[in-house]
Each structure stands twice: as C-alpha cells, then as structure tokens.
A and B are shown apart, each in its own frame.
Chain A
Amino acid sequence: MPLTLNLLHEQQFLLKQSKRDPLKLGLYALGGVAALFVLYYGYRFAQSSAVDSELSARKAEWAKQEPAARAAETQETEYTARVATAALVAKRIDNRFYWGPLLGTLLKAIPPTVQIVNFNGTNETHADKVTLTLEGVVTGDVPRLVADKFRGELTGALGKTYQGVETSFRSLDESSGSVTFNGKTTPTAHFTIEVKMNKPGAEPAATPAAPARARR
C-alpha cells in the first residue's frame, strides 16, 4: 500500500470546521424559523385586516342606521301615544251607556197597573254599574204582589239587553188611597225599586265559589 501524504490536511480541516460552525448553523435555523414566523404573521395580518374592514363596514352601517333608529324610536313613541289616545276616545264613545233604548225597554215593561212618578238614573264615569231608582204607585187586589210581579218582569225585560241586572225594593208601603181601574176600585201601594246593572264593556263580576259542603 503506497504511503500518501495529504498536504492539504490543515486546509480541509479548517473548511470542515467552518461548515460545522454552530453559530452559522444556528443563524440558518434562526432564518428558517423567522421566515415561517413572517409567513404566519402575514396570514394572521390578512385575517386581522379582514376583521378590520368588517368593523369599518359595520361602523359605517351603524352611522347610517343610528339616526334612523333614533328617529324611529321617537316617532314610535308619538305614534303609540296617538294610537292610545284614539283607542281611549273610541272606547269612550263605544262604551257609552245609552238611555234612549233603556227608556224604551222600561216603557214596554211597565204594565197599566203601575205608574212611575219619579225616575232617577245615575251613570257615574268611574263606576262599573248604572243605578236606576224607580218610584211609583201600583194598584191591584193585592198591590204588594203586583209590585213584586212588576219587579220580576222588569228584571227579565232589562236582563234581555243588559248584563248583571239586580233589582231590589227600597220601600214598598200600602197607601190609604185607592184607584178605580177597569171599573173596579182597588187599593194602591207606593214602591221604590232600585236597579243596578253593568255598564257596557264592564267586566262581569266574578261568580262566588260555591261553599264547600260541610262534612258530617
């Protein structure tokens, strides 16, 4: 085997050392990582820019919508107030108590044996019921019975048109006088009947619950 002498050994060693220089290799790695970081940052920056532009678009839209929304809210308040006023006026008109038809019903319900001398009707604005007071004279063989029959008929006649009709005698007194009716002299009685009934549009009164049966 021939003996060879490498005269470039020193030079080759230095070249090899230079190629394996940790600082140089580290810088290469650093450069690679930095390049990756830059790429990722660019990607994220693009995403962020998209978000930015979306935000700008929303801000511009809000700048347009905000005055319209404020104006709409103000208008809505005004409109709602007008609608409420109109509804209240319409309710007041619709829920009035009509006295003309009531008088018609009363006239039909009063028999010839009864004469009303005084009629008093009250329809308080805030009350739920209308109150009537009828004062009159009744005649018949038994005037009290005639008066009570009249009260029943009156309740029935008013009940056909009105809700919650309640009638009661405030007074019923036989009088000393008598009248001639259909050629027959009959005694008389004075009565005062109070009538209460619901106003139109008033909520009907709640029906009281039936009392529970007592256990034996």
Chain B
Amino acid sequence: MNQITKDQKQKIFLSSLLMIGLVYCYFNFLLDPLTKQDRVHRSQIETLEGKLAKAKTAVKRSKSVQDQAQSAEETLAQVGDMIPDGAPIAWFPPRIRAFFDRHALKGASVRPGTLDAAPDPAMHNFRNADWSIDLPQAGIIPLGIALAGLENEEKLLEITHLQISTLAESPEKQHVSMNVATLIK
C-alpha cells in the first residue's frame, strides 16, 4: 500500500519540474532584473549626488569670489578713472608739462617711447607706455619735491630711469632727464 506507484512517481517528477521552473523564472526574469535596475539607479544617484555637491560648492565659491570681485571692480574703476580717454599722446605730455609748470620747473619736454602690452597677461585690459621727460633746468630741492608730488599724483606712473647732471654754466641748477612708464587703456 505504501509503495509509490509509477503514476505517483511521474507526478512527483512533474511537480519538481514545475517548482524548479518557478524558482528559475522568478529569479531570472523577475528578481534579477529588478536588482540590476536597482543597482544601476543607486550608482546613478551616487553620481548625481557627487555632481550636485560639486555644483553647490561651485555656486558657493562663485559667491565668495563675487564679493572679492566687487572690491576688485572698485579698484579697477578707480584706475580707469585715472586714465583719460583718447590717445595718450594727446593728454599725457600736456598733463606732465602742466604738473612741472605748477612746481616752477618750466620748459619740460615729454616725448613718447615704446608702447606695448602690459607685462602680465592678466592685465590684458591695459598697455604700458614709456615716455622720456626732459627738464632743462631744475634746482635739486624743487626737483625732489616735484618728483614726490608726481609720484603721489600719478599713481600709474613709475620712473624707470633718472639722470641728474650739474650744469657747468650754473652749478646750482641741474639738467634732469627721466624715463617713465605708465599704464594706459
């Protein structure tokens, strides 16, 4: 009675096949794709979170640089105001002559020198202009005062060469020649 019949054996075999099929189909066609999709989505989230963090940092950094840029803008605007519009030959020599005239150093002559790009590429908005200034007669003390005044008034100007020679005919007077460099637009 307890012997398994052939028919029962076949049914057990069929049930086992069905069970195996169910497990295979479940894992292969349902659970695995879901897991894979999940994994892909999680890695995409991680990538996006990294990108978002970077983006937020970039925005923050830009804001902090913006604050610095505002004061830089003010500096550049002040520098821009120091440089008159127009060709430098039109405004620089008269300005310098007028300055030395105000300091009782008459007869100053100003000649243009080289005009080239500013030495640093970051200063591409500016150019460097060299000039030669000649003062035929100057007392040493008024000259010192005038040079100090020139350096204070003309903040973009730098004297690159200065020659003071005593005049043989009047030893209390000197002949002065100098080269100056200025920033222009």
Contact surface of A with B, Cβ cutoff 8 Å = 21-23, 25-27, 29-30, 33-34, 37, 40-41, 44-45, 47-48, 51-52, 54-55, 58-59, 61-62, 65-66, 68-69, 72-73, 75-76, 78-90, 92-93, 96-101, 103-104, 107, 115-126
Contacts and interface: CB of A to CB of B under 8 A. Distances in A.
Contacts of A25: 15
A21 B11 contact: yes
Interface stretch (B68-76, B94-102, B105-113): B68-76
Contacts of A61: 48, 52
B28 interface: no
14 contacts: A26-B11, A33-B22, A41-B26, A48-B38, A52-B41, A54-B45, A69-B54, A92-B158, A98-B148, A98-B151, A107-B144, A116-B166, A119-B163, A121-B161
Given A54-B45, A97-B158, A99-B159, A26 B19 contact: yes
A82 B140 CA distance: 41
Given A29-B15, A76-B65, A99-B147, A122 B161 contact: yes
Given A54-B45, A58-B48, A107-B141, A27 B15 contact: yes
Nearest to B42: A51
Which 4 pairs between the two chains have the least Cβ-Cβ distance?
A26-B15, A100-B148, A69-B55, A86-B72
B110 to A, nearest CB: 17
B44 A55 contact: yes
A168 B10 CA distance: 117
B104 interface: no
B134 to A, nearest CB: 15
Contacts of B144: 100, 103-104, 107
B96 to A, nearest CB: 15
A96 B18 contact: no
A181 B68 CA distance: 62
A44 B31 contact: yes
A85 B156 contact: no
A37 to B, nearest CB: 5
B181 interface: yes
A97 B157 CA distance: 10
Contact of B151 (A41, A72, A99): A99
Given A55-B44, A99-B159, A119-B163, A89 B141 contact: no
Contact of A76 (B35, B56, B58, B163): B58
Nearest to B120: A88
Interface string B32-48: 00110110011011001
Contacts of A123: 158-162
Nearest to B158: A96
B122 to A, nearest CB: 4
A92 B49 CA distance: 44
B160 A125 contact: yes
Nearest to B141: A107
A16 to B, nearest CB: 10
A125 B113 CA distance: 15
A72 B59 contact: yes
Contact of A37 (B22, B73, B181): B22
A117 B148 contact: no
B73 to A, nearest CB: 6
Given A22-B12, A54-B45, A118-B165, 6 more contacts: A62-B52, A69-B55, A76-B65, A82-B73, A107-B141, A125-B160
